[in-house]
Amino acid sequence: MPAKLPVRHLGPLSVSAIGLGCMNLSHAYLPPPDPAQAERLLLHAIDSGVTFFDTAAIYGFGQNEELLGRTLMHRRGEFTLASKCVLGEVNGQRALDGSPQAIAQVLDHALRRLRVEQIDLYYMHRLDPKVPVEESMGALVRALEAGKIRAIGLSEMSAPTIRRAHAVHPIAAVQTEYSPWTRNPEIAVLDVCAELGIGFVAFSPVGRGLLAGRIGREGVEEGDLRTGMPRFQPPHLARNLDLYDRLRMLADEAGCSSAQLCLAWLLAKGDTIVPIPGTTNIAHLDEDLAAIHLDLSPAILAAVDTLFPPGAASGGRYNAQAQAQVGTETWPGELEEQA
């Protein structure tokens, strides 16, 4: 029997308090795992009580959905499945297409790759500025009425956009990067989610690996997605690793790892927040899940807040090209640090 983890709620969905972000099993970070390793990781996650798996059409241009489809769907009744549309492949390149026709087509392809008839939570991965959000939402509502999805989500969108979308149909969850060094949701998104009864999914909760101690001063290898992110480039990387060293000292004081401290900090921010760390390593997954059971003192949690005030991280979280596709609110001066 699978282990049992505490649950949290995203709209009508009940999920493990920590889910699994599946992106780096097929996409973005190097080195990639071989398929057998990725499959073992997924099966270990579900056996360990993870009931929330997050993928997207863009991850490996469909390869990640195919991975989940062949690995997990014989246990379909045991977990909540999330995927995403709008940000995907257009003529072999990463691009946005939020037209109703594209959303319907991408969804049908996702259902086939995932080997399911229904996706539990289907996000607009980004807002396509060429298409009013109400039109994109209309396509998702039709998919819901047709039984192809159970609930609608939004990713990396601003509070005003969330309100507009929610006026068309209730949003179950909003997903945005959130961690001690990326606190943009605290500007407005968390407040609007609380007001409207929307769950919040925190991706990259351990700073894309840096706050977990997975990145050294040599940085990441060429071709890794993070090489294009200012925070992982000099001179920002050295400054951010100094922040990590101070975080690790706090974690040592608390008797946990720095990754666990980040996750426990997020879980303490509200009972509708669900972090989805990603990993290719079973030991790291076990470490992440153990954070659910930590009982950290208010003083330690407050010390994390003090160490990472808004703007503490050096460098923007995206370069200018990627930031142009993100609607999430930014802190004063943040966009000036994209280089």
Predicted confidence (pLDDT) per residue in 76-109, tens digit? 999 999 999 999 887 777 889 999 999 999 999 9
Q: How far apart are the first and last CA of the chain?
A: 49
Predicted TM-score of the model (pTM): 0.97
How many CB atoms sit inside 10 A of residue 308's CB? 22
* 153, 156, 207, 319 from 328: Cα distances, Å: 14, 5, 17, 14
C-alpha 28/C-alpha 223 separation (Å) is: 8
**Segments making up each domain of the chain, as ranges:** 7-209+264-295
* 7-209+264-295 placed in CATH 3.20.20.100: yes
User: 194 and 173 in contact (C-beta within 8 Å)?
Assistant: no
What is the b/e burial string over 137-148, where b = at least 16 CB atoms within 10 angstroms of the residue's CB? bebbeebbeeeb
Spatial neighbors of 305 by CB under 8 A, at least 6 apart, are: none
Q: 174 in helix, strand or coil?
A: strand
- Residues 197, 198, 204: CA angle, nearest 5 degrees: 145
C-alpha 281/C-alpha 221 separation (Å) is: 18
DSSP structure class, residue 179: B
Can you spell out the DSSP letters for 200-265? EEEESTTGGGGGGT---TT---TT-GGGGSGGGSTTHHHHHHHHHHHHHHHHHHHTS-HHHHHHHH
Q: What is the crossing angle of helices 282-290 and 258-268, to 10°? A: 40
For residue 2, what pLDDT is reported?
80
For residue 337, what pLDDT is reported?
67
Tell which residue, 240, 220, 242, 243, has the closest CA to residue 231: 240
How many CB atoms sit inside 10 A of residue 335's CB? 12
Predicted confidence (pLDDT) per residue in 135-160, tens digit? 999 999 999 999 999 999 999 999 99
Catalytic machinery residues: 59
For residue 339, what pLDDT is reported?
56
Per-residue pLDDT of the chain (339 residues; tens, 9 = 90+): 788 999 999 999 999 999 999 999 999 999 999 999 999 999 999 999 999 999 999 999 999 999 999 999 999 999 999 999 999 887 777 889 999 999 999 999 999 999 999 999 999 999 999 999 999 999 999 999 999 999 999 999 999 999 999 999 999 999 999 999 999 999 999 999 999 999 999 999 999 999 999 999 999 999 999 999 999 999 999 999 999 999 999 999 999 999 999 999 999 999 999 999 999 999 999 999 999 999 999 999 999 999 999 889 999 999 998 999 999 999 988 887 665
Q: Quick one: tokens of 289?
A: 């899940």
Phi, psi (deg, nearest 5) at residue 36: -65, -40
For residue 334, what pLDDT is reported?
85
